[in-house]
Amino acid sequence: MFKITIEETKTVKKMVGKEWAIVGTKEVAREEQFYRRSEEEPRTRIEDVREYTPEVEKSVEVKREVLVQEVETLDLAAVIRAINRL
């Protein structure tokens, strides 16, 4: 069995962003009763800063299946001639 797939690929401009992501870090004081297990631990900890990313226009590759066909036999030479318009 053979599977023939024709796929269209094109580049389009899209607005991307507005995703919840880590954009940096900040130093935060530890609360004595909750975070410090011993005196050797630092009095601060590093915490991630999350924000929505800005919306920007970006070139994105988009793929679309135009044809999908399964066949029992395949004449490969005929397929190549058809693709190359010979």
pTM: 0.49
Task: Spell out where the chain has E strands.
Answer: 2-16, 20-29, 44-52, 56-71
**What span, in angstroms and rounded, lies between the C-alpha atoms of 76 and 2?**
11
Q: Give 25-78 pLDDT, tens digit per residue.
A: 998 877 665 555 666 667 777 899 999 999 999 999 999 999 999 999 999 999
Domain-by-domain residue ranges, the chain?
1-15+56-86, 19-53
Please say whether the beta carbons of 60 and 9 come within 8 A. Answer: no
Where helices occur in 1-86 by DSSP H, the ranges are 32-35, 76-83
Amino acid at 10: K
Look at the block and give the residue holding tokens 């693709």. Answer: 83
